[in-house]
């Protein structure tokens, strides 16, 4: 059974950020990721995790500049700020956003930026993750294929840099989800899920067969987080019946 994490940047929008922690913990989530925790102080975020017994699963960098030539200082500052929040909340993963760019110069910039960031991340016990995004939702985004991310990870040459595999994005871009996961399991550190089309609940009303995917992950021995990064159709709790067999009780 997957270890489900809630995504507070898309779920539980019915209440303020710091009020989402108690609800998520009450209904059975044990982990939470936040794309952008920076509207709250690092102490507020850390206290909310601790008070509700939740694991901080993932933060994004506050700026999407990793592959932008000339923005190296901004990327360094973005990673440093994310590491501060990780230190306070006990988070062990940062999604390093590439940004809108293209070409060999962008790739070289991203590789160099990640290499420079590795020592600080290693010292903090934090992994730096790369996530390919689909070109329909994010036109022009530099990173958009699993193979492209893998090539960059190989060039950086550090176990600290891993793959963040989002099934929603990769169903749109590539398909063959189960086989791609199997082929890249050695570098996958984090998985995210949502329904296709629409990026809604990963339930039966969409084209990805998540019960099969969850069994596949169990069979592969994947034991890291699976984060629910989707937009509820009509309220977070109302749309969580799909997760009841996985330990989430939206009526609790």
d(CA 204, CA 188): 25
* Residue 44 annotated as catalytic: no
Cβ(210)–Cβ(219) under 8 Å? no
Pairing state between β 161-166 and 127-130: parallel
Marked catalytic residue, from 33, 107, 201, 229? 229
Cβ(252)–Cβ(240) under 8 Å? no
Tell me, rounded to whole angstroms, the distance of Cα 51 from its chain centroid: 23
Cβ(49)–Cβ(88) under 8 Å? no
Marked catalytic residue, from 33, 107, 131, 201? 131
What is the torsional sign of CA 62, 53, 3, 5? negative
Contacts of 123 (CB under 8 A, 6+ apart): none
* Residue 50 annotated as catalytic: no
Which runs of consecutive H residues, i.e. helices, occur in the chain? Answer: 20-27, 42-51, 72-89, 104-124, 146-156, 167-173, 177-184, 210-220
- Residues serving a catalytic function are 131, 229
């Amino acid at each position: 059974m997957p270890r489900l994490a809630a995504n507070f940047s898309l779920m539980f929008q019915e209440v303020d950020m710091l009020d989402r922690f108690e609800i998520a913990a009450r209904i059975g989530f044990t982990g939470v990721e936040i794309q952008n925790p920076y509207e709250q102080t690092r102490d507020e975020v850390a206290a909310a995790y601790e008070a509700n017994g939740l694991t901080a699963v993932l933060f994004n960098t506050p700026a999407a500049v990793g592959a932008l030539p000339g923005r190296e200082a901004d990327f360094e500052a973005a990673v440093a700020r994310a590491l501060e929040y990780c230190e306070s909340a006990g988070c062990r993963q940062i999604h390093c956003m590439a940004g809108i760019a293209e070409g060999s110069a962008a790739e070289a910039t991203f590789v160099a930026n990640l290499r420079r960031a590795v020592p600080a991340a290693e010292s903090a016990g934090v992994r730096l993750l790369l996530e390919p995004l689909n070109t329909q939702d994010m036109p022009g985004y530099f990173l958009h294929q699993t193979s492209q991310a893998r090539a960059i990870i190989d060039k950086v040459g550090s176990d600290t840099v891993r793959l963040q595999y989002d099934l929603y994005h990769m169903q749109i871009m590539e398909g063959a989800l189960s086989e791609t996961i199997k082929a890249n399991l050695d570098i996958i550190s984090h998985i995210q899920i949502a329904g296709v089309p629409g990026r809604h609940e990963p339930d039966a009303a969409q084209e990805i067969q998540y019960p099969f995917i969850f069994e596949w992950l169990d069979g592969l021995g994947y034991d890291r987080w699976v984060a629910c990064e989707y937009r509820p159709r009509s309220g977070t709790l109302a749309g969580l019946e799909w997760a009841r067999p996985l330990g989430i009780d939206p009526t609790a």
